[in-house]
Amino acid sequence: MTSVLDPQPTTAPEAADPMTPVPYRLERLRQDTRDTFTLELEPVAGPPLAYRAGQFTMLDAFGVGEVPISISGDPTRPGPLEHTIRDVGVVTHALVTAEEGAVLGVRGPFGTTWDVADGEGGDVVLVAGGIGLAPLRPALLELIGHRDRYGRVVLLYGARTPEDILFGDELRTWAVDHGVTVEVTVDNGQHAWRGKVGLVTHLVPRAGFDARNTLALVCGPEVMMRYAASALVDRGVPAGRVRLSMERSMKCGVGLCGHCQLRELFVCVDGPVLTYDRLAPLLTCREL
């Protein structure tokens, strides 16, 4: 306890104060669906942000507040920092209604990664629910960037309605040009929808992949992730090879504010990407 007298930080602090936002300019704002938008950001000064698939940033709308948002861009190629955001709250509304040229604050990148390369030599299954496709997009782009290193790549994607399907053009490109098996289902398929209707978790049992040699990446509402992970494990994917991206309230992103705790986990630094063997007992307990 001598540290009480000589309280030196034992780890080197990150370069800049992790609590101070860095200014980024909104270069382009693209509307993906009726409530979902993709923001392309460039730093006002300095180099572009280096990040890995699965990581998130804290995005700040000046004077309104900050929210954790997963990065949805391509981690293998230089380019603007991309975030795909659903307009659901005060801050997200301010972010998606910002005008091009506006300056937003960025802190990060924070958190663990999908570690896609860990799946080399085997099959990779991505299961996405709703906006959960956005955090999986960097992983998919990384897979496509090194397509020859992987076996089958399967994307199972569930959206609420056909109008809510994200990245529609890209889904086709991934399937046609990059040999990704893309299966899309919707909860509610009125209108002219001729595709599948039903829960995305129901696609898992019949999807084509070698369960014993598969890395599975899952992102979506928590209940959907729980059922998807369970279905993957039932298929024979080891729980330690199933990765989920968790969502919790976050105020700091660096493990200091305490909001994101899931029993012993700080989701912001121990996650957001966590393996299902670790999460399974925590997800079955209500309101843990």
Partner 1 sequence: MTTTLPVLPVPHVPARAPHAMPTLAVWKFASCDGCQLTLLNCEDELMALAGRIRIAYFPEATRAVVDGPYDVSLVEGSVTTPEEIERIGHIREMSRTLVTIGACASAGGIQALRNFGDVAEFRSVVYAHPEYLSTLARSTPISAHVSVDFELRGCPVDKGQLLEVLSAYIQGRRPRIPTYSVCVECKRRGAVCVTVAHGTPCLGPVTQAGCGALCPAFARGCYGCFGPQDTPNTAALADRLLAGGMAPVDVMRIYRTFNAASEPFRRESERHEPGPDDDARDDAPHDAAADARPEREVPR
Partner 2 sequence: MDRRAQIIDVQGLQDLVEALLARGYTVVGPTVRDGAVVLGPISGVDDLPRGVHDRQDAALYRLETRDDDALFGYAAPVQGAKPVFFPADELLWRAHRSPDGFDVEDPDGERPGPVALIGARACDLTAVDIHDEVLMRRRYVDDHYARRRAGTFVVAVACGEPGGTCFCASVGTGPCPRTGYDLLLTELLEAEHHFLVEVGTSRGADVLADVPTTVATPSDVTAAGDVVARATERMGRTLETEGLRDLLYASAESPRWDDVASRCLACTSCTLVCPTCFCTSVGDVTDLTGDVAERHRVWDSCFSEQFSYIHGGALRSETRSRYRQWMTHKLGSWQDQFGMLGCVGCGRCITWCPAAIDITAEAAALRAAAPPPGPPAAPPVPVPTGVRP
Chain residues 30-59 in contact with partner 2, contact rule CB under 8 A? 44, 51-52, 54-55
Partner interacting with residue 239 (select from partner 1, partner 2, none; CB below 5-8 Å by kind)? none
Partner interacting with residue 104 (select from partner 2, partner 1, none; CB below 5-8 Å by kind)? partner 2
**Residue 219 is assigned to a ligand binding site:** no
d(CA 202, CA 158): 10
**Residue 285 is assigned to a ligand binding site:** no
d(CA 142, CA 148): 12
Which residue in 213, 280, 212 sits closest to 244, CA to CA? Answer: 280
Rounded to whole angstroms, what are the CA distances from 281 to 2, 89, 275?
A: 38, 30, 12
Other CB atoms within 10 A of residue 192 CB: 6
Burial state string for 44-83 with b = 16 or more CB within 10 A and e = fewer than 16: eeeeebebbbbbbbbbbbeeebbbbbbbbbbbbeeebbbb
Rounded to whole angstroms, what are the CA distances from 183 to 129, 163, 195, 232, 270?
A: 12, 16, 9, 16, 31
Amino acid at 182: V
Partner interacting with residue 25 (select from partner 2, partner 1, none; CB below 5-8 Å by kind)? partner 2
Longest dimension (CA), the chain: 71
Q: At its nearest, how many Å lie between partner 2 and the CB of residue 249? A: 5
Q: Is 64 in the site for partner 1 (CB under 8 A)?
A: yes
Ranges within 240-259 binding partner 2 (CB under 8 A): 243, 247-249, 251-252, 254-259
Contact pick of 63, 77, 78, 287 for partner 1 (by CB under 8 A) = 63
**Residue 260 is assigned to a ligand binding site:** yes
- The smaller minimum CB distance to partner 2, of residues 1 and 192, is found at 1
Ranges within 224-283 binding partner 1 (CB under 8 A): none
Q: At its nearest, how many Å lie between partner 2 and the CB of residue 56? A: 12
Question: H or E element: which one contains 227?
Answer: helix 222-235
Partner interacting with residue 107 (select from partner 1, partner 2, none; CB below 5-8 Å by kind)? none
Ranges within 80-139 binding partner 2 (CB under 8 A): 88-89, 92, 102-105, 109, 111-115, 118
**Residue 252 is assigned to a ligand binding site:** yes
- The smaller minimum CB distance to partner 2, of residues 6 and 169, is found at 6
SS3 196: strand
CB 205 within 8 A of CB 231: yes
Ranges within 199-228 binding partner 2 (CB under 8 A): none
Partner interacting with residue 94 (select from partner 1, partner 2, none; CB below 5-8 Å by kind)? partner 1
Ranges within 8-27 binding partner 2 (CB under 8 A): 8-11, 13-14, 17-21, 23, 25
The one-character DSSP state at 29 is E
Taking CB under 8 A as the binding criterion, the range among 50-58, 59-67, 239-247, 276-284 that sits at the site for partner 1 is 59-67
Give CA 135 to chain center in angstroms. 2
d(CA 112, CA 55): 6
Interface residues with partner 1 (CB under 8 A)? 63-65, 90, 93-94
- Residues belonging to the binding site for [2Fe-2S] cluster are 252, 257, 260, 268
